[in-house]
Amino acid sequence: MTTEPKTSFQFKPQTYPTRPGVYLMRNDRGEVIYVGKAANLRTRLRSYFSRQGDSRPQVRFLLKRLADIETIVTDTEKEALILENTLIKKHKPRYNIDLRDDKTYVSLRIDLNETFPALEIVRRVKRDGATYFGPYSSAGAVRQTLKQIYRIFPLRHYPVEACRRRGRPCLFHQIGQCCAPCHGMISPADYRSLVDGVIALLSGREKDVVDLLNTRMHRAAEELRFEEAGMLRDQVHAIEATVEKQKVASPAGIDQDVIGIHREGGEVQVSILSIRNGTLIGQRNFPLEWRLEQEALLTAFLQEYYARDIIIPDEILLPWACDAGDVLGEWLRERRGRKVTLAVPHRGDKVALVKMANRNAEEAFRSRGAKHEARTRLLDELREKFHLPHRPHRIECFDISNIQGEHSVGSMAVLQDGEPARREYRHYRIKSVTGADDYASLEEVLRRRLIRGIADELLPDLILIDGGKGQLAVVATLLAELKLTGRVPVVGIAKSRVFRNVRGTAVERSEERFFLPGRKNPVTLRQGSPTLFLLERLRDEAHRFAIQHHRKLRSKAALRSPLDVVPGIGPKRRRQLLKHFGSLKKLREAKLGQLEAVPGLPASLAAVLYRHLHPET
């Protein structure tokens, strides 16, 4: 018999409404840890605290941390779905479904409302009236495809106004890949015929394009325009050579997303096959760690996936029916602007597509399992080499970046089960240290991270420090102070040393050295081993992440105006002063009386400004 989860929170059903709405679960620090929706809030919340309890492991962890439940009532279930999605984006709750895509996808955008439309590669699909094609899994492959398209249909590459300021057509026009509409070398009607050809090609109607070009080629040949006929012939050959013949196609000839799901051992793998105009153009895979009921899992996935800025197709084929399917369909229709069909096929070609998506999900799961086993072997080797108490599922690496003590920042890069967990990366602005003191800066960053980790019950299984014995001693002292010695192992990675001859020429490079607390001699890993590469990659990630943020801070500081630090001078007054004097240089040269004469600037503020601009007086 399942026992009721232990929680300090006392659930009182009568205090919650029976209407549709959203509920927010908070921990004892007031942080939102889960957001859910329900057609009946009281009934849904009661299911968490029933005598049998909720069987999902994540829910048991959730209830142990529950301190309060807040509800927001809505008029309809659809409004609850929309509000739930908004709140999840805002709070990023720890226990809601987390989609980790295996790739970054791109789309092609063309705005037909422009006189001379151009193709753009974008990563977000907006509701701006433009036409989008995709998604495509490889931005590099899309760029190669665009090169072929420009050879066949020479659309513009750059903004029209920017090209007009050049005074002459760009290089792309000279090599035959731009028709130069910016300099009036093609009429809007002829340009639109090129655009129509591009849209037909990207929509999968290659035969229509080839037939059109063949007709124009024969007409040009009959009219003795042989140069134009030869160009059209080359375009036809280019299309036939460029277009990839697809083995999988849908006879429906519409845009479809086919959802496939594989469940095994409590883990879930979701695959989406993207079919555009009846042709399969790509696949996306999502590993899910949250064990939900079958119908609720599918609903949560669809809601999270299609809330992104992506192309929503005409039809979504599902392996089984999801709960709140009607509400979800209405929400998708509103997001897309026209009808979206959610269908569970039972026979015919669509059933075959769903089965194929399920097979792809299963294969992705198997592939992920093989990678997981390889990573497990690496982590077991780390445990053995560094004498760790258990396998290091979460490894955190820290680095400090500054230039002569200016804009000091710290970074934390994270490996989760041997893979980069970029959502867990963190930046730290150094607050308590002045000057270039890497030891003190490292101590501050780690103190803040570990104190937060103790409160969140989320501590690393291994800390990797970019440094040698000195940095390691700082961390060991801090761990002892926080009573974490033995609970949180730490390792220092020292860069390899280069040995040179008397002429200063490098003759030998030592191996990377790893220092452990209480051990005099460093640990070395076999050169070129996957385990060494894993740790070096993590160290380099932390270093890159720190430098990236440091450069960003320096850039902001370089663009900062001296007026930004003057009390009482806001953006509006700053613009007024610069407009009045014409430049910052003339403002600096202004006398106190000239500042006092600025309309709307009080004399007291003029004096403060003068002292800031002339600190030596």
Higher-pLDDT residue of 470 and 240 is 470
Q: Same domain for 404 and 523?
A: yes
Specify whether the CB–CB gap between 489 and 394 falls below 8 A. no
**pLDDT the model gives residue 4:** 41
Position 399 pLDDT exceeds 90: no
Higher-pLDDT residue of 461 and 176 is 461
Instruction: For residues 34 and 276, give the distance between their C-alpha atoms in angstroms, rounded to a whole number.
Output: 36
pLDDT per residue as tens digits for the range 366-387: 887 777 788 888 899 889 989 8
Q: Same domain for 229 and 269?
A: no
Residue 221 counted as domain residue = yes
What is the CATH number for 596? 1.10.150.20
Structural domain including 299 reads: 256-366
Residue 101 counted as domain residue = no
Quick one: tokens of 210?
A: 């080839």
Residue 385 counted as domain residue = no
Q: Mapped to the 3 state alphabet, what secondary structure does 157-195 carry?
A: CCCHHHHHCCCCCCHHHHCCCCCCHHHCCCCHHHHHHHH
Q: Same domain for 144 and 73?
A: no
**pLDDT the model gives residue 404:** 55
Specify whether the CB–CB gap between 317 and 257 falls below 8 A. yes
Quick one: tokens of 25?
A: 């679960």
| Domain final residue, candidates 556, 580, 598 | 556
**pLDDT the model gives residue 168:** 83
What is the CATH number for 482? 3.30.420.340
Instruction: For residues 533 and 526, give the distance between their C-alpha atoms in angstroms, rounded to a whole number.
Output: 10
Kindly state the helix (H) or strand (E) to which residue 500 belongs, with its residue range.
strand 498-500
Q: Mean pLDDT of all residues in the chain? A: 81
Residue 406 counted as domain residue = yes
Q: Same domain for 222 and 323?
A: no
pLDDT per residue as tens digits for the range 129-150: 888 887 776 677 678 778 878 8
According to DSSP, residue 523 is labeled B
Tally of domains within the chain: 5
Quick one: tokens of 508?
A: 């030998």
Nearest one of 461, 465, 433 to 446, comparing CA atoms: 465
Quick one: tokens of 208?
A: 């229509």
Q: Same domain for 527 and 566?
A: no
**pLDDT the model gives residue 509:** 55
Q: Same domain for 404 and 550?
A: yes
Nearest one of 9, 29, 15, 31 to 71, comparing CA atoms: 15
Q: Same domain for 35 and 128?
A: no
Q: Same domain for 339 and 409?
A: no
Summarize the confidence of residues 487-495 as an average pLDDT. Answer: 87
Residue 2 counted as domain residue = no
Give SS3 for 41. Answer: helix
In order of 26, 107, 191, 334, the CA distances from 177 in angstroms are 58, 21, 13, 39
User: Parallel, antiparallel, or unpaired for β 256-264 and 279-288?
Assistant: unpaired
Higher-pLDDT residue of 113 and 245 is 113
| Domain final residue, candidates 242, 274, 308 | 242
Q: 232 falls in which pLDDT band (50, 70, 90)?
A: confident
* pTM (predicted TM-score): 0.56
Position 362 pLDDT exceeds 60: yes
Question: Could you count the other beta carbons within 10 Å of the beta carbon of residue 564?
Answer: 11
Q: Same domain for 360 and 262?
A: yes
516-530 residues labelled b (16+ CB within 10 A) or e (exposed): bbeeeebeebeeeee
Position 246 pLDDT exceeds 50: no
What is the CATH number for 53? 3.40.1440.10
Alpha-carbon 388 to chain mean position:
33
In order of 56, 293, 295, 463, the CA distances from 49 in angstroms are 13, 17, 21, 38
Q: Same domain for 587 and 505?
A: no
pLDDT per residue as tens digits for the range 574-603: 888 878 887 777 888 888 888 888 888 888
Across the beta sheet with 106-110, the strand order is 119-122, 106-110, 131-136
Residue 402 counted as domain residue = yes
Residue 98 counted as domain residue = no
Residue 539 counted as domain residue = yes
Output helix, strand, coil percentages for the chain, rounded to the nearest 5: 45, 20, 35
Q: 467 falls in which pLDDT band (50, 70, 90)?
A: confident
Higher-pLDDT residue of 464 and 401 is 464
Beta bridge partners of 263: 268
Instruction: For residues 192 and 205, give the distance between their C-alpha atoms in angstroms, rounded to a whole number.
Output: 17
Summarize the confidence of residues 28-45 as an average pLDDT. Answer: 87
Nearest one of 122, 422, 481 to 412, comparing CA atoms: 422
Q: Same domain for 499 and 603?
A: no
Q: Same domain for 235 and 278?
A: no
**pLDDT the model gives residue 461:** 92
Helices 188-202/206-222 angle, 10° precision: 140
Q: 258 falls in which pLDDT band (50, 70, 90)?
A: very high
Instruction: For residues 159 and 113, give the distance between their C-alpha atoms in angstroms, rounded to a whole number.
Output: 14
Q: Is 336 exposed, middle or buried (0-12, 13-18, 19+ CB in 10 A)?
A: middle
| Domain final residue, candidates 185, 207, 242 | 242
DSSP state letters, 400-468: EEEETTEEEEEEEEEEETTEE-GGG-EEEE--S--SS-HHHHHHHHHHHHHHHHHHHT---SEEEEES-
